[in-house]
Each structure stands twice: as C-alpha cells, then as structure tokens.
Structure 1
C-alpha cells in the first residue's frame, strides 16, 4: 500500500485504535499530526490507548512526546484512565514518561484514590513507588487506609500506612 500524501482523518485514527490497529496512528504521526489531538470530550489518542490497553499505541504516543497529563472533559488524565481500567502495564509506562500522580479528576480522585477504589494493590504499589501520597490532604480528604480496610484489602491498607509513615518521617 503506497503512502498517502494526506494524513489520515482524526476520526479514522480513533476508529483504527479502537479495533487494535496502530497503522493509521503511525501514519498520523509521520505526517506531523499532533499526538495530543483531542475529541470534543477531551479524550486524546493516549486516553483511548489507555482505556483499551493498547500498549503499542501508548508507546508510539509517548515516543512522539504526547502530553501524558492531558485532561479530558471528565478531569481524567491518561493515568486516571489506565488506573480505572486496571491497565498495570500502561500505568507503569505513563509513570516512566513522567505522568503526575497528584492530579484530581472531576470526582476529586487522584490516580491512587482510584486504584484503592478499584481494589488493585499492584497499581497502588506502583503509584506509591512513583511518589503518590496516601495523605488525606492529597486525596480530597479521603481516608484511603480506611477505605482499603472496609474493602478487606489489608495488604493494600498496610502499603498505604507505610507510605503515610514515610511522608511523616520526611516532614519531621
């Protein structure tokens, strides 16, 4: 198939991503299309890749210097989306690319609070290692430890307590 002189249409790239194909995204980027192009609801290609668990598309976008902290209309960044969909591989990729762990979505949730809601200790651990704060003041006054205990996620509660103790040591 010969290279098209025109870049693909934004909607076509989104449709191809939703079917798991990265070919049009690659073509979009080669033709100088912005990796941060957004739909009317603010979702970018990286939001879609994070939602779908498309690690190849996410890698292409990160390499093209997509804004990993781009906020959609619902206040979610690609990291919030990856956490919500339990995409641990993408959470790690976004964190390595510099995604901020302290941003609140429209519901007032940080990625860490969302991971606790989703009862996902693997992602909770990854976010804490990346510097996410379990402190209530960082999480819109949500007591994440209590929430983990109420969900019978005791190992996760322990991680959060340990993370809070580290914060207290640094403040002292």
Structure 2
C-alpha cells in the first residue's frame, strides 16, 4: 500500500514547426486534450494509512530493546504525507500518526494491530505514552483488547510490559482477560498475567516498575468474572490458569448468585466439579434463592455429581428459600439411594455402602 500520493508529469502532444498545434483527424484540438490530461493528473490522491512492505510482521522472539527501536518511524513523516495537486503550491503536510483518529475512534496503533502489522505496532508501543496505549475506541476497546481478539500474544506482552491498563472494560464490560477466558486464548492469557522478568522491568524505563495487581473478580455487564467464563467455556486449562493467577473460587456471578461450582453442576461436567472442589469450592454455597450446588445436582438427577458433592461435605438437608432440601428434590425426581451415598451406616466400626 502506497504511503505517499505523488503526481505524474504532464505529457505534451505533437507540435508543428513554429509552435502551432495541428488538428487531429477526429477534429479535436490537441490543446483541449492536454487540458483534460492535466485536470486528471492534477487531482489529489488520498494518503494511504497502512504500513508499507518493510513494516511486515516481525518475530515475536525479538529482544525488547530492538523491538522498540525507532527505525521504522525515522522516515515515516516523509513517507506518509498529503499529496499535492499539480496546480497547488509544491508543499507537503506531514502526516502525524499519533494525532490520527478514525471515524470509529481507532488510533493508528489500533489499526496496526487490527491489520496485524506487528513490527510497526511494536515500534508505536515503544514510543507512545500510557494515555495513547490505553486509548479506547468507540466500542471502548483498547489496543490490548484488539491484540487479544487477533491472537497476537507478542503485542499483548509488550503492552503489558510498558504498563498498559489490563482492567479497562469494553462495551460488554469485558477486560482483556475476560476475552481470553471467553475464547480460550491460553497463550495470550499467559502473556497478560505472568510476572515481569528483570529484563522486562528494565525495558519499562521511567515507568512504574512494580506489577499492578489485577482484579480477577471484576464482573462484566453479564455479571460474570473471568473464572465464570472459563468454566462456561469448559476449558480446563484456562480454569487452572485463572485459579493459579489468584481468582477466588467462590465468587458469585451477579445475576442469580451462582458460583463457578454451580455453573459446573449446571453443565453436568464432573471433571470441572471435582477440580473446583479441590480448589476450595463450597459445596453448600447458596445462590440468591438459597439453592446449593447439591440442589442443582438433585434437580438434574445427576448421581455422579451429587455423590461428588456429598463426599466433599455437602448437606443434603439444607433448605432453600422455598424450604426444599436436596433430599426433597431427589424424592420427587429420582431414586434417592442413587443420588446420595449414605456412608454413615457402620458395622463393627466400618462404613457399610448402601
């Protein structure tokens, strides 16, 4: 894509001796044809905003000091300029990429990320202020959101290293980590959350060197945290990563008060239920209506999950707001002996399975 708009030189038609124009066989004066050509050639061409071929995607393994070099931008102003008309004064206005804003509110960095021009994006990241790195477009998306959507983990990491705010929310209330959990972007999630290395701290220069704690309990506008989204996606590795990063397992979603364990029970995913129980999930955690995960398992007639919850200490006689216990729900829907393992019957001090 051309970054400059040039003008072609005018071509003169054939002339007779003495400087007088001869007429064509068609009857059109050559002088009129010259004027039409000059009008077409003198029209101003638009300035292309995309990067040139030399700004193609770079390797994600580049060292941070070379990735932030100013090389691609040294001649950027001279390469991208407003074209001049053939009839206008021969003066070009330099294009300032940091002052550019599209009609959708995208900065030039937004566009570099959208079009996956990684090398140019890294250069802009290294030379931009925090205000520029955190700019939200009309959909409230920051460059970090767009790097997540386009699965560019290298750009995600460089934005984090230079202090981009990972807690800003888009129009759906999603932070970049919400998006990673929603779409299963494991590599990008690791790039977003892992601690800064000593070399990365040096790359931050004058900016704050300390890691800022991320609020993993932030809800999006659907009332869901990152852990809730990872569970709903049934992505075991993402659930593991979010829990390892410090997410609280018993946080309630905002619409009905379900915990991640409630959601796993509703999905019928015994593996996720077991994982959340090992992480400290409360088998008696109540929803806003008082229902525990065991109420949900009994209502769904799921003996495997009900057994796992009971073995983790769930109370089958705990009533909800309608005074129904899990046993009441089991009596009306299923064989109670298949739902609940009554292991408190003992013979000679040993438990007897019923």
TM-score bracket, normalised by the shorter chain, equals 0.7 to 0.9
Residue 75 of structure 1 deviates from its aligned partner by: 0.4
Q: Which residue of 2 aligns with 1:169?
A: none
Pick the aligned partner of 2:240 from 59, 69, 91: 59
* Two-structure CA RMSD over aligned residues (Å): 2.5
Q: How does 1:118-157 map to 2 (within 5 A)?
A: 118-137=300-319, 139-140=320-321, 141-157=323-339
Equivalent residue of 1:148, what SS?
helix
Higher helix share: 1
- Tell me by how many angstroms 1:164 deviates: 8.3
The Cα shift of 1:48 comes to: 0.8
Kindly indicate whether residue 170 of structure 2 is the aligned counterpart of residue 20 of structure 1: no
1:37 corresponds to which of 218, 221, 228:
218
Deviation (angstroms), 1:108: 2.2
Task: Show structure 1 runs of 5+ residues with no match.
Answer: 167-172
Number of residue-to-residue matches in the alignment: 163
CA distance in 1, matches of 2:273, 2:340: 21
Cα separation, 2, equivalents of 1:145 and 1:156: 12
CA contact (8 A) 1:121 1:155 kept: no
Matched, 1:5 2:187: no
Structure 2: stretches of 5+ with no match in the other structure: 1-59, 61-153, 161-165, 169-173, 196-212, 347-354
The alignment's TM-score, normalised by the length of structure 1, stands at 0.80
Is residue 68 from structure 1 mapped to residue 232 from structure 2 by the alignment? no
Deviates more, 1:7-16 or 1:128-137: 7-16
TM-score, structure 2 normalization: 0.42
More relative contact order in 1 or in 2 (CA 8 Å, sep 6+)? 1
SS of the equivalent of 1:5 reads helix
